[in-house]
Structure 1
Amino acid sequence: MATGETGFDDVTFDLVSVQYHSLKAGHDYGQYVRDARNAGRDDIASFFEQVMAEDSARAKQCHEFIKDLAGSTPATA
């Protein structure tokens, strides 16, 4: 298992990255929902809410994988 410059293995780093970007996007989507509602486009607001829920689920799955990796022993070469 390679360890990059961060000190974390590549898979953990990748999961943390996806989790971060999913959470960040979810935060941004809240504004998109408000913008759509303010424009009277509940259909678009619903779409943004769906996307936000998908990113939230993605972040949660990353969290579960990270917990799993933290509890496992590293592979030896």
Structure 2
Amino acid sequence: MATGETGFDDVHYDLISVQYHALKGGHDYGQYVRDARNAGLDDVAAFFEQVMAEDSARAKQCHEFLRQLGGTANTEPKTGPA
């Protein structure tokens, strides 16, 4: 398996990256929902809630894939030649 500059194989890094961004987005979207509700824009708030739910499902799927890939034993940095 090829490794990138991080020393981790690309698939683990990619899953962790997608999971992080999905969780970060979900955190930010909570504020967007509040902003839309405060503006009386329930349809926009519902849209942000939908996006938040999709990111939550995406993060959960990444977590499951990472679990299936073996947890910490397969996510340690690789040493030596790639």
* TM-score by shorter chain over 0.5: yes
Displaced runs of 4+ in structure 1, greater than 3 A?
none
Letter in 1 for 2:52: M
How far apart are the structure 2 equivalents of 1:31 and 1:21?
A: 16
How far apart are the structure 1 equivalents of 2:70 and 2:26?
A: 25
Q: TM-score, normalised by structure 2?
A: 0.83
Distance apart, 1:28 and its partner CA: 0.3
Unaligned 5+ runs, structure 1: none
Question: Which residue number in structure 2 is paired with residue 62 of structure 1?
Answer: 62
Unaligned 5+ runs, structure 2: 75-82
How far apart are the structure 1 equivalents of 2:5 and 2:46?
A: 41
The two structures, once aligned, show a CA RMSD in angstroms of 1.5
Alignment coverage as a number of residue pairs: 73
Question: Which residue number in structure 1 is paired with residue 30 of structure 2?
Answer: 30
How far apart are the structure 2 equivalents of 1:22 and 1:42?
A: 23
Q: TM-score, normalised by structure 1?
A: 0.88
Greater RCO, 1 or 2 (C-alpha within 8 Å, sep 6+): 2
Give the percent of matched residue pairs that are identical in Structure 1 and Structure 2: 81
